Amino acid sequence: MHHRIAGVRLSRTSAHRKALFSNLIAALFTHERIRTTDAKAKETRRLAERTITWARRVSDVLGKKPERRTIDESTRVVHAIRMARRVVRDRGAVLKLFDELAPRFFSRQGGYTRIVKLPQRPGDAAPMALLELMPDETGGASAKPAGKGDKGEKAAEKGASAKADKGAKAEAKGGEKAAAKAGGAKKPAPAKK
């Protein structure tokens, strides 16, 4: 019987299951979205949200420089990192969790992820889902600690304006092609030699 036991078994041993969810959560934190089966997405969501909560609880302390933290604050950060590392064994994913994701979700009290249903998988008709982290609703300005990334912001603005210029050029070209097709203009045939 399976009474009072949380989680799904997914026809795997406990070690295989732990490794599977650790890898799925690491991929979710790294890429911010993963495509998997519906059952795996629901269980991964449960574990990922718990892990994000550990990081979010200490995000106020993470804004301080390590030498400015009190002993109690340093202890809280170490404990939260260790609790996250119990679930996610990828060091890079944990660093991203504490550096980028925790400040993003600082004002959110839960619901850090969402599941979007996808069509069935062609091979075995398994129900598929897209599990993704919620986007930053604050615009990113208030989530960053003050004084950091002035050069990065300017570079990002330049990159955004360059992308907008390219998009406008591509749109103009697309408009010319569409007008040419609508007008019935055809390309001249190449001359024969």
CB contact set of 21 (below 8 Å; sequence gap of 6+): 43, 44, 47, 87
**Residue 112 and residue 52 share a domain:** yes
Q: Tell me, what's the pLDDT at 166? A: 53
Residue 130: exposed, middle, or buried by beta-carbon count in 10 A (0-12, 13-18, 19+)?
A: middle
Q: How many domains does the chain have?
A: 2
**Residue 75: inside a domain:** yes
For the chain, the average pLDDT equals: 82
Per-residue pLDDT for 145 more than 50? no
| Inside any domain, residue 184 | no
**Pair (90, 172) in one structural domain:** no
pLDDT of residue 51: 97
163 and 127 inside one domain = no
**Are residues 117 and 170 located together in one domain of the fold?**
no
Q: What is the pLDDT of residues 65-86, one digit of tens each?
A: 999 999 999 999 999 999 999 9
Structure letter (DSSP) for residue 98: I
- Residues 94 and 175 placed together within one structural domain of the fold: no
User: Are 98 and 40 in the same domain?
Assistant: yes
Percent with pLDDT over 90 in the chain? 66
Q: Is pLDDT larger for residue 84 or for residue 169?
A: 84
Taking the CA atoms of residue 14, residue 20, residue 22 and residue 28 in that order, the dihedral angle to the nearest 10 degrees is: -150
Tell me which of 139 and 17 has the higher pLDDT. 17
**What pLDDT score does 119 carry?**
98
pLDDT, tens digit (0-9, with 9 covering 90-100), for 26-57? 999 999 999 999 999 999 999 999 999 999 99
pLDDT tens digits, residue range 5-21?
A: 889 999 999 999 999 99
- Residue 141 maps to a domain: no
* Within a domain: 191: no
Residue 19 falls inside a structural domain? yes
Note the pLDDT of residue 2: 80
In terms of residue numbers, what domain contains 157?
149-179
Looking at the domain assignment, is residue 140 inside a domain? Answer: no
